Structure 1
Amino acid sequence: MTNPQFETVTDRAVAALSEPDLQSVYTGIIHADGRREYYFGNDTEDATALREAAAVQLGMLLRVLADQSDSDVDELAELARERAERMELG
């Protein structure tokens, strides 16, 4: 494993998933063989609440990626938009 913090992060994420007060969950997994899995769920059926939760999650991910990769948030957002348009989920 090239990043020694990776195991710590995955262990913390797994533990957090069992907390009883979760309202929204997104997990994107990329396997070494290129396989991808996506899990997205919210404890609401309200479209406004869903959009807000998704926007918060996207913002958190962009901020962390920008900080850790020395990239600009706008650059990452544009790259993510391009990838999302090409992505087929199913």
Structure 2
Amino acid sequence: MSDDTEFEDVRAQAKSALDAENLDSIYLGLLHEDGAPEFYFGSTVEGRDLHHAAVDQLGMLTRVLADRSDLTPEELANLAAERADELAVQ
């Protein structure tokens, strides 16, 4: 399967998952061809539950990206923390 086909399949799966009515928390991060980041976060949970939801989402993303790159989860997390400090939330 080509990278373009795989990307389109994942994109279609994600669009379908967004239609689920039983979501508690959602994060969507977009990286445009020009490198511009765009990100959205929404949640129906608060306090400690929000903390756990955020950690779960970060963990899932870290695991997937580490599996697809030459980085360990720890290396990836360190780089992501550095980048997070540079990003402005709008």
Identity fraction in percent: 45
- 1:7 counterpart residue number: 8
Query: Would you identify which runs of 4 or more consecutive aligned residues in structure 1 move more than 3 Å?
Result: none
Give TM-score, length-normalised by structure 2: 0.91
Once the two structures are TM-superposed, the CA of residue 89 in structure 1 deviates from its matched residue by 1.5
Q: How many residues align?
A: 89
TM-score, scaled relative to structure 1: 0.91
The alignment status of 1:82 with 2:78, answered yes or no, reads: no
1:71 lines up with 2:67 in the alignment: no
Runs of 5+ unmatched residues, structure 1: none
Residue matched to 1:43? 44
- For structure 1, which segment, 52-61 or 30-39, has the greater mean C-alpha deviation from structure 2 after superposition? 30-39
Match of 2:30 in 1: 29
Offset, 1:60: 0.4
Alignment RMSD = 1.4
Tell me how far apart the structure 2 counterparts of residues 15 and 4 of structure 1 sit (CA, whole Å).
17
| Structure 2 unaligned regions, length at least 5 | none
Shift of 1:32: 1.1
